[in-house]
């Protein structure tokens, strides 16, 4: 099986990542570690009513209604003034020149408004926005920490997409495991792609990292894993990406993240990272 670099893996879709999780082990001595995340009952650690990694896989495919309810609560509570993106969708503007002629305006003698052309209402803001949800936290923390972090990312994407932005969502995790540095990035929604149920589940279900991320680590680690834990860091990021990370851990902090990120998009000269 062709495997990506342990320290710099990147998958273009959730399906590609899931295939890599179950496609075989780089080091056969990690079979027990890999199997544990799929077979052992870890309901309290995975959250979202998932007992095993197989339950997590199923939820990613079918969607997570409780997670979408979290997003709806966030959207209802965010500040209308701060969390409303500047609309970048094109609007038709009338004038003496343009792309489309209104012949009825010509007949009325209104030549100054006879033509229309599409324009954007805000030329300063970015047309594309890249969100990176850092889906790793301390193993001692409640699974809802990751759920709220993912819900914030989905809520931001929902608001920005509705305003005409092209939004990409990446789920990332990284750190060090048994002495080896790792970084894994999964594009769960690309620019212009749909925000569907599997996308939302992949970003919000805590077990996406806690089960599938750890299983990926066991499958791809070049050496024998001597400790199941890993350091809490993050995946590799690229310039301009907006990182949603450790400060987002509950409803209150998720609302603050939404406000800050959208305010940063509306003001591209300001800071855009939320770390």
What string of pLDDT tens digits covers the 275 residues of the chain?
A: 468 999 999 999 999 999 999 989 999 999 999 999 989 999 999 999 999 999 999 988 888 888 888 888 888 887 654 556 676 555 666 666 666 766 766 667 766 766 676 665 554 555 889 999 998 888 888 999 999 999 999 999 988 888 888 899 999 999 999 989 999 999 999 998 888 867 788 889 999 999 999 999 999 999 999 887 788 788 899 999 999 999 999 999 999 999 899 888 887 765 444 44
- 272 within a domain of the structure (yes/no): no
Assess whether 30 and 50 both reside in one domain. yes
Give the Cα separation of 173 and 160 in Å (integer): 24
Cβ within 8 Å of residue 149, ≥6 positions away? 133, 134, 135, 137, 244, 245, 248, 249, 254
Q: What is the pLDDT of residue 239?
A: 92
Residues 115 and 76 in one domain: no
- Tell me which residue range forms the domain holding 98: 90-120
Residue 139 is assigned to a structural domain of this protein: yes
pLDDT at 270: 55
- Long-range residue pairs from 35-44, CB within 8 A, at least 24 positions apart, any chain: 36/228, 37/211, 37/212, 37/214, 37/215, 37/218, 38/211, 38/215, 42/210, 42/211, 44/143
Domain-embedded: residue 259: yes
What's the rounded Cα separation, in Å, for the pair 181 and 216?
14
56 and 169 housed in the same domain: yes
Instruction: Count the domains in the chain.
Output: 2
Please indicate, yes or no, if residue 274 is contained in any of the structural domains: no
**69 and 99 together in one domain:** no
Do 169 and 69 lie in one domain? The reply is yes
Residue 131 and residue 173 share a domain: yes
CB 231 within 8 A of CB 175: yes
Residue 275, pLDDT score = 42
What are the two backbone dihedrals, phi and then psi, of residue 21, each rounded to the nearest 5 degrees?
-65, -40
| Residue 39 maps to a domain | yes
- How do beta strands 9-11 and 180-189 pair? parallel
| Helix (H), strand (E) at residue 251 | helix 251-266
**Same domain for 98 and 233:** no
d(Cα 259, Cα 149) in Å, to the nearest integer?
14
Residues 62 and 138 in one domain: yes
CB 56 within 8 A of CB 252: no
97 and 165 belong to one structural domain: no
């Amino acid at each position: 099986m062709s495997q990506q670099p342990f320290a710099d893996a990147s998958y273009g879709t959730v399906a590609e990542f899931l295939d890599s999780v179950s496609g075989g082990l780089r080091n056969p001595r990690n079979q027990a570690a890999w199997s544990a995340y799929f077979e052992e009952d870890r309901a309290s650690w995975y959250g979202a009513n998932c007992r095993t990694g197989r339950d997590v896989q199923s939820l990613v495919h079918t969607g997570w209604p409780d997670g979408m309810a979290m997003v709806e609560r966030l959207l209802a509570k965010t500040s209308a003034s701060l969390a409303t993106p500047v609309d970048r969708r094109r609007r038709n503007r009338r004038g003496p020149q343009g792309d489309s002629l209104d012949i009825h305006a010509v007949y009325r003698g209104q030549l100054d408004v006879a033509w229309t052309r599409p324009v954007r209402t805000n030329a300063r803001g970015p047309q594309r926005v890249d969100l990176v949800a850092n889906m790793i936290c301390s193993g001692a923390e409640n699974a809802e920490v990751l759920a709220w972090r993912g819900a914030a990312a989905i809520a931001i994407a929902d608001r920005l997409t509705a305003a005409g932005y092209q939004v990409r969502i990446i789920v990332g995790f990284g750190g060090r495991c048994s002495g080896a540095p790792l970084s894994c990035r999964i594009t769960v929604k690309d620019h212009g792609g749909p925000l569907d149920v599997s996308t939302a589940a992949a970003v919000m279900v805590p077990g996406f990292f806690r089960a599938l991320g750890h299983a990926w680590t066991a499958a791809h680690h070049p050496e024998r894993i001597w400790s199941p834990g890993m350091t809490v860091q993050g995946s590799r990021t690229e310039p301009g990406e907006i990182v949603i990370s450790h400060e987002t851990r509950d409803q209150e902090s998720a609302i603050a993240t939404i406000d800050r990120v959208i305010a940063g998009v509306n003001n591209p000269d300001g800071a855009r990272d939320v770390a």
